Amino acid sequence: MKTQLSFSWRYVFALILVLMFGTSQALAQDQTEKSDNTANPTKNAVKSQAQKSRGGGPDTNIKTDRAANDPNAPAARPERKGERGSRGCSVDIVNDTGWYVDIYVNGVYNGTVGPWGSGYVFPPAMGANLYGRAVFTDGSYQYWGPRQFTCAPGTINSWALTP
């Protein structure tokens, strides 16, 4: 009888140890998830209203306009060598207008966002000035920005362009 009681107690102690170990692992995992939640990307939303152009002359916010394609340039992508540069963040540009808006990053043409569309740009890790411009057939234009975006790794920004 004493052997049975001893075996039962051993079984109970072993069960308690297993439960304690499982509980400690679950608590450690919860702590890890809590600390990982702070590393999730942050989302910053900015909304800008269009401004009319201030007259003729060159636009000081644009350093390099759209590039023209060279008909003699190779159409295939050259082989990449080495690692690609790191990106700091992304900016989701939401075009809430009926116009085509050219987007410039640090004064360099980066792409066009169509009417009622959206697109992403990936500024460098140091941050960037974003500038949008909708050019009209009469030569006038409306613009947004320049808007400074400071980019931490993994940051997601949103820039809404309104008329």
pLDDT band at 152 (very low <50, low <70, confident <90, very high): confident
What integer pLDDT is reported at residue 140 of this predicted model? 87
- Sheet with 101-105, edge to edge strand ranges: 51-52, 141-149, 128-135, 101-105, 108-113
Domain range summary for the chain, segments of one domain joined by +? 1-40, 42-65+86-163
Better pLDDT: 151 or 158: 158
Instruction: Provide the whole-model pTM.
Output: 0.59
Per-residue pLDDT at 8 exceeds 80: no
CA–CA dist 163, 148 (Å, integer): 20
63 burial (CB, 10 Å; 0-12 / 13-18 / 19+) is: exposed
Better pLDDT: 139 or 74: 139
What integer pLDDT is reported at residue 93 of this predicted model? 94
What integer pLDDT is reported at residue 37 of this predicted model? 46
Which fold is adopted by the domain 42-65+86-163?
A: Immunoglobulin-like (2.60.40)
CA distances from residue 113 to 39, 50, 67, 102, 103 in whole angstroms, order as listed: 30, 15, 16, 6, 7
pLDDT in tens, 96-119: 999 999 999 989 899 999 999 999
CA–CA dist 143, 16 (Å, integer): 68
Question: 18-27, 68-77, 115-124, 147-156: which range is least confident on average?
Answer: 68-77
